[in-house]
Structure 1
Amino acid sequence: MIRTATVSTLATLALLAGCSTTTNIPVVTPASIAPLAYHPQAFCDGLVGQRISPVDIGLPSGYATIDSASLLAATEMRVLERGPTPAATIVPAMPQRCKVLGHIAPVDPQAPVINFQVNLPVRWNHASVQYGGGGFNGVLISGEALVPAARFDQLSPLAQGFVTYGTDSGHQNKPGEPPQAFAMNDEALVNFAHASYKKVRDVAVAIMRQAYGVGPRKLYFVGSSEGGREGLTMAQRYPRDFHGILSRVPVIHWTGLQHAGLRDGLALTKGGWMNPAQVKLVHDAVLAACDAADGAADAVVSDPVGCRTRFDVNKLRCTGAQADSCLTEPQIRAVQTLHTPLDMGMELANGLRRYPGRGPSGEGTPSSGPTGGWQSWWTGSAAPAFPPVQANGIAWFYGGGAIQYFYARNPQLDLRTYRAADHAARIRQVSELMDSTNPDLSAFRAHGGKLILLENLGDYAQSPYAGIEYHASVVQRMGRAAVDSFFKLYTAPGVDHVGTGAPGNADLFPALVAWVDQGRAPAGLTLVEQDARPPFAVKRSRPLCEWPQVPRYRAGDINAAGSFACAP
């Protein structure tokens, strides 16, 4: 609890009630009142400057300090003109709430602080949602957005009465500095790997107890990409801290991903880079070979695994002068490299040695900001530079920087000279920190935890097969019946990393809450593709299938989920 706040806050409440704290009135304890509900303005104002002791934080830490607290009025939903993704243009409706901003001091004085935001609705439903971050973090997550993969017309958790909160993971991005630079500090790296999310979770619980007199009955974690990794990290490292976790497109095989980003980027050098017309050439060839295999020619490859045997990139090889209508030998090799698993040449955390390949499908998903297929994540608008620049594919920019700052710890490293074998000890050390691949979820299951994992099969920011292989490893470790009782794996064909390209949104968070609260396992869920403007009309839908099932067309409207069935 917030140890320095209790007396002053209760005294304030007593005075507001017209009482003196020295008269013979019943003692009011935090367990018997909800100060925020009775006196929201006074309570919210009184939080400023309060501190949470390190003894209330489950890992070595400095004090947590509340820097500001503002009581905010309820607001209506609004839609921005533009944003990095369609979902990011939607600013959900907000209830009356106390917005709390603060920081947790580090143990190492040279390490950055951990910033956090906690949103306390005046009308609370006795549950909370922690939001994960993205990329290399360094930006404060507000906890005010829609959850990953949510339908655009779904209320945010905060609007439903959940306390929500997030963090910057313990470092702050700086202009002109690579986003990976923080990893040179050991404590900042551990915070990014796992510690900051645990620390902020504990601080948020302490603040909830102060605000409402009791702690949350149920705690949820939601995250996508890096945030998805964070969710699985919580299930693996802190299995008793959360009751439900929603993880979309998680970068769980982190070390393999960064090295694959390096390998796949290097494949684009020396003539391997492809321009937008050539990317479209590959995309169209994949659709020609695989689109109708599910019975519907709808520009969505439902079965990309089967497509691997049907699509042959060699058929696009140039036979004469280079042109946009064919691929040169270096370009053919680049595509083959992307599709091929990466053998790390050493054993990483939890016995993994390889990172799965990516594709086919989704190569030409339109690029807009950090979305889309190859042009966003792999090829970029220019061939890989040394050092990486923003015009390159994001996987090269991220992976190259991770190699320099996480593994080689040499910001001046020429990526063309890097050899993993020369850094084997450091690679294993970082893998133990960053890779969320532990298949033993028995403690999370024993605690009653429920886990939903969604992989988008048109994803090139990471390989969706990393999550699929992780689920298989959990089944191998714990058995199918045990895993089915608490862990669901779904896939969205043709959908890219941030949810565009095909139907990619579903009522996953409501399904998770029902599973946790009522024991009702998810079933009959539907993926939708919606307009990003009210009334958020559904343009097309598909059944959300548990892997390894995929949608197969039966009959009827090609844009309706009811016209498809999940089948092997």
Structure 2
Amino acid sequence: MKCTSIALAAAAALALAACGGTTSAISSTSSTDANALPQLAAATPGTLAGNCAALATKLSFANTVFTTITDVPAGTLKVAGKSIAEHCLIQGNMNQRVSSVDGKTYAIGFEMRLPLAWNGRFFYQANGGLDGNIVTATGEIGGGGPTNDALNMGFAVISSDAGHSSTQNPLFGLDPQARVDYGYNAVATLTPMAKQVIKLAYGKGPDRSYFDGCSNGGRHAMVAAARSSAEYDGIIAGDPGFHLPKAAIGEMWSAQQLATVASANTSSGLPDITTGFTAAERQMVASKILSKCDALDGVSDGMIEDIKACQANFSLANDVPTCTNDVRDGTCLTSAQKVAIGNVFSGARNSTGSALYASFPYDAGLGAGWSAWKQANSITLDPAAAAFTFTTLPQSASVLSQLSAYALNFSMDNDAPKIFATGGVYTESSWSFMTPPDETNLSALKQRGAKLMVYHGTSDPVFSSNDTTAWYQQLMAANGGDASNFARLYTIAGMNHCSGGPSADQFDMLTPMIAWVEQGKAPDSVIATARDASSATPNSDVPSNWGTGRTRPLCPYPKVARYTGGSVDSASSFTCS
């Protein structure tokens, strides 16, 4: 059942009964503005009723098998050197079945961790990639080298494999139900079960529920904002691949472009795309981008905060030297390379010039993280996803041994439209089960008083920050030109895919999200830290000439962090404007 907008405090108790919360879960707004959104009340803590062994006798849910219920002593798990308190570990699976298509056994596997001292909140930890693994349910909160997690903060946390095991990757896409579970159904199925487990454990359901994930986990988060708007109060979507089928096409397009300028072949006789744009050439291009764009935010500090202005100022054709006689020495690009690399950044197109995925902004993060996606995953992971999960009908399993060839021969005219196709037992297209339906209509989430925070690295090489920015612009338009009262986007200068790159990539968005949801304190900026050599989890992409512990404000779009004076390594020297 969906919670609706509530204007009168007297209606709160009735509405909350429908939502499964407590009678304190919504506070009346004090504003006289008829358009004011509901203010959700703060969660109240609880304590595990009895112990893990006692809980084992209570657990029951339809089509669910609880395989493990055990106590985890304090200190067994750690985050950033901190011991996580004693908690209960619950493992199990839902909806086990044997596929009529491939004969394999499938189930939605999950893990929950319930702290003895509970803060009254629930946290869904979404996986990345092709899923298939039940990662430790500590409640990872995004960014690089996190210093805390949701479990340590007192949340009850769940993680899952989204309906298939890693041993079934990537061929799980041959099973139509496994496709749908991966796309959206695992979240929809697990959420009510998890809330019921929490109610049995603590004597009440969660007062507030949060969702967090990056990459495919960010896609899960964006889908949850649309499909599960009644279930979650705060959703954090990092580098979201919410157009993942198109992004996979974009990756194969990039591989094809780099193949045209490869200077060597692999052992299998295919173009070695790593030679199409070498590490030295990538470093040189990054330096040219910085020289044109670094100071546009007010200071030359190795970070391009005004990414939009950069695109208007930098020209690959004019600002990067052209090699004389096509002699490549790392200080220039050949004319053919400029065409190919320009095509990589301008985004996938078919033969008529129609865009198949978004363009990518030129930015400074062209190191190993960029290469890992554009020059490795683009001929391994992405074609595997496209061949078996994103296109209909799926390819034969024999393609699994020929993924590079499949990627380099993928037709932008004939194969790309298959992400919208259905056929036979595949009654739902990947575009339907992978993406948020009606993605700019988040009115149900908004009118409940729930919030959405999205972040995206501007050097992300697989999911374009331009794509996410375009979505946010459309969301703004759908909400009278301003969506900031319930949804905010933060772009992160230099950050690669979810972390890494010459960037301040260590941040906590969960704490400001709680303050926004439960106290009405909108996050006008989020402080991020660069993980230099002194960090407990250093990021090798951070330049050695940056000051120790550099911090930056992450600003809500369309604002940009601009230098106002003082130390270039301090967030206080910048303002969001």
**Alignment TM class, shorter chain as reference:** 0.7 to 0.9
| 1:485 aligned onto 2:478 | no
Q: Which runs of 5+ in 1 are unaligned?
A: 1-33, 54-62, 80-89, 347-351, 380-392
C-alpha spacing 1:330/1:473, structure 2 compared with 1 (3 Å):
same
How far did 1:506 drift?
2.8
C-alpha spacing 1:545/1:41, structure 2 compared with 1 (3 Å):
closer
How far did 1:313 drift?
2.1
Give the counterpart letter for 2:187 in structure 1.
Y
Q: Which residue of 1 aligns with 2:303?
A: 300
How far did 1:35 drift?
11
How far did 1:146 drift?
3.4
Matches within 5 A, 1:398-417: 398-406=381-389, 407=391, 409-410=394-395, 411-412=397-398, 414-417=406-409
What is the CA–CA distance in structure 1 between the aligned matches of 2:310 and 2:46, rounded to whole Å?
59
Q: Which one of the candidate residues 39, 42, 50 is aligned to 1:39?
A: 50
Alpha-carbon deviations, 1:16-54, whole Å to 9, x = none? xxxxxxxxxxxxxxxxxx99734214324536xx5411x
8 Å CA contact retained: 2:454, 2:489: yes
How far did 1:124 drift?
1.2
8 Å CA contact retained: 2:212, 2:236: yes
Look up the SS of the partner of 2:106 in the other structure. coil
Give the counterpart letter for 1:553 in structure 2.
Y
Q: Which residue of 2 aligns with 1:339?
A: 345
Q: Which one of the candidate residues 367, 374, 377 is aligned to 2:373?
A: 377
Q: Which residue of 1 aligns with 2:442?
A: 441
Look up the SS of the partner of 1:68 in the other structure. strand
What is the CA–CA distance in structure 1 between the aligned matches of 2:152 and 2:431, rounded to whole Å?
38
C-alpha spacing 1:535/1:148, structure 2 compared with 1 (3 Å):
closer
Q: Which residue of 2 aligns with 1:162?
A: 155
Look up the SS of the partner of 2:219 in the other structure. helix
How far did 1:260 drift?
0.5
8 Å CA contact retained: 2:290, 2:302: yes
| 1:318 aligned onto 2:301 | no
C-alpha spacing 1:256/1:244, structure 2 compared with 1 (3 Å):
same
Look up the SS of the partner of 2:309 in the other structure. helix
What is the CA–CA distance in structure 1 between the aligned matches of 2:196 and 2:558, rounded to whole Å?
42
Look up the SS of the partner of 1:480 in the other structure. coil
Give the counterpart letter for 1:115 in structure 2.
G
Aligned residues: 484
Look up the SS of the partner of 1:65 in the other structure. strand
Q: Which one of the candidate residues 97, 114, 125 is aligned to 1:120?
A: 114
How far did 1:490 drift?
1.2
C-alpha spacing 1:326/1:534, structure 2 compared with 1 (3 Å):
closer
What is the CA–CA distance in structure 1 between the aligned matches of 2:283 and 2:537, rounded to whole Å?
31
Percent of residue pairs identical: 22
Structural RMSD (CA): 2.7
How far did 1:78 drift?
4.8
Q: Which residue of 2 aligns with 1:196?
A: 186
What is the CA–CA distance in structure 1 between the aligned matches of 2:113 and 2:151, rounded to whole Å?
8
Look up the SS of the partner of 1:143 in the other structure. coil
C-alpha spacing 1:452/1:426, structure 2 compared with 1 (3 Å):
closer
Q: Which residue of 2 aligns with 1:432?
A: 432
Q: Which one of the candidate residues 414, 429, 432 is aligned to 1:422?
A: 414
What is the CA–CA distance in structure 1 between the aligned matches of 2:443 and 2:161, rounded to whole Å?
29
8 Å CA contact retained: 2:141, 2:508: no
Q: Which residue of 1 aligns with 2:378?
A: 395
How far did 1:559 drift?
0.6
Give the counterpart letter for 1:332 in structure 2.
K
Give the counterpart letter for 2:493 in structure 1.
P
| 1:52 aligned onto 2:61 | yes
Q: Which runs of 5+ in 2 are unaligned?
A: 1-44, 263-275, 400-405, 422-428, 540-546
Q: Which one of the candidate residues 152, 158, 171 is aligned to 2:164?
A: 171
8 Å CA contact retained: 2:110, 2:134: yes
TM-score, normalized by length of structure 1?
0.79
Q: Which one of the candidate residues 201, 207, 227 is aligned to 2:217?
A: 227
8 Å CA contact retained: 2:249, 2:356: no
Q: Which residue of 1 aligns with 2:270?
A: none
What is the CA–CA distance in structure 1 between the aligned matches of 2:77 and 2:90, rounded to whole Å?
21
What is the CA–CA distance in structure 2 between the aligned matches of 1:91 and 1:146, rounded to whole Å?
15
TM-score, normalized by length of structure 2?
0.78
What is the CA–CA distance in structure 1 between the aligned matches of 2:242 and 2:300, rounded to whole Å?
33
